A and B are shown apart, each in its own frame.
Chain A
Amino acid sequence: MRHVQHLILAYVHGQLRPARRARVMNHVRVCDTCREALAREERLAFDVQREMPLIGQPNNGQLTRMWAGVWQEISLNPPQSRVRRTPFLPGLSAVLAILLVVLVALPLVAHSGTRAEAAPMRANNRYISPTPGGTEEVDATVQASLVEAQLPQATVAFAMEAAPVPQTPASPVAPMTFEETW
């Protein structure tokens, strides 16, 4: 006969599945030890169940005091104002977003295109094109455009410098390959 004392607390607190509950009930019919243990735990649990709801019953004075505090807070900052705003909030957000696009984003895009056209790009374009024989022409054009644009002289000097020529390859293997080829 297997005792069920390890199941008694779970039984008392209604935590067992039907099969195990039946096992406990069947066992305590024939086992005095487990029956006594079950009765003892049930009495304690019953007492707790009976007494707990009676602990901390608020009196009228406490309830009145708490209500005064609650209502003071609520009346100072009523929640209904937020609720009234709520139905309009999505529509309002959409309108604001559209306005933002129309008033800010679109003018920015349009203005950025105009500014690109107005920028003094001619000199730079000519300089960037790497034509070895066209240096004189580039210099003359650059000078002319710079005079027109009235750029600072330091910028002119920088613009007229020749582009740096890459020297040796970065890899150490490259020179050996070069010598063997020749």
Chain B
Amino acid sequence: MGWSTSLRNRGGRGVNRAMNERPEPMNDPDLPELIVRCLRGDQTAYATLYERYAPGLYRLAYSVLLEEQDAEDVVQEALVYAFRSLERYDPQRGAFRTWLYTITISRCRNARRRKWLPTVALSNLLNIGVEPSAPPDESPEVRAAWRDLRASLERALKTLSPRLREAVALRYGQGLTYREMAEIMDCPQKTAESRVRLAHEQLRSAMSAADRAALEELWSV
């Protein structure tokens, strides 16, 4: 069974199923110990937390802001705040990751307020990130088609409002549940759900007819 066949089967069974079947948010059994060590000033513990969470926080910030330097600033600000406020983190109120995402989204909103975001060059989007991992039997044509599709999706993503981009980034970029999204975006769960649906509709509208045709062709391979 080829890669495209595998994709068709996965797509045909429903994305909701794939999302619902994904593993629970990462558990950190050593998190309490790490926090205690951080509070004692242990640099290794800080570095461990940083390595564990900073990449995800950066992806989130970048997906929302679509600007490298802003995303770096936001992540740095958010982590400094979080590390200084570690004693205030209450595990009973939510996962550590959710707490960090809440801080990061809040900082992203502040950054947006401070600065009118300019139109982002497509090259910015294309130069960032790693190549999608693909099965070894992927042909160069299929790989090129996926790259085009990705560029098309990124162009469409750029047209979303910040709130809708937050919703897409949290749901599909970070794989959060709607409840977690609602907590982070500070809105009811139904609002989080409707933002995802609205983002989906706008992404579809934003994609050109040619993009959609390419998408259909890719899926029919």
Q: How far is the CA of A11 from the CA of B200 in the complex (A)?
A: 12
B80 partner residues in chain A, CB cutoff 8 A: 69-70, 73-74
Within 8 A of A (CB), among B56-76: 58-63, 68, 71-72, 75-76
Contact residue among B149, B172, B200 (Cβ-Cβ distance under 8 Å from A41): B200
CB pair B18–A54 under 8 Å, yes or no, is: no
Which among A79-87, A94-102, A131-139 touches the partner chain? A79-87
Task: Determine whether the beta carbon of B14 is less than 8 Å from that of A47.
Answer: no
The answer to whether A44 touches B19, judged by C-beta atoms less than 8 angstroms apart, is no
A51 vs B203: C-alpha distance when bound (angstroms) = 13
Instruction: Select which of B50, B87, B201 is within 8 A of A82 by beta carbon.
Output: B87
Nearest B-chain residue to A24, judged by Cβ: B14
Q: Is B132 an interface residue (CB 8 A)?
A: yes
Known: A51-B153, A52-B63, A53-B59. A80 touches B41 (CB 8 A): yes
Total count of chain A residues near the partner, CB < 8 A:
46
Residue of B7, B61, B128 touching A57 (CB-CB under 8 A): B128
Q: Provided the pairs A52-B169, A53-B173, A57-B59 are in contact, do residues A46 and B10 lie with their beta carbons within 8 angstroms?
A: yes
Question: B residues engaging A (CB < 8 A)?
Answer: 7, 10-12, 14-20, 38-41, 43, 46-47, 50, 54-55, 58-63, 68, 71-72, 75-76, 79-80, 83-87, 125, 128-132, 149-150, 153-154, 157, 168-169, 171-175, 178, 193, 196-197, 200-201, 203-204, 215-216, 219
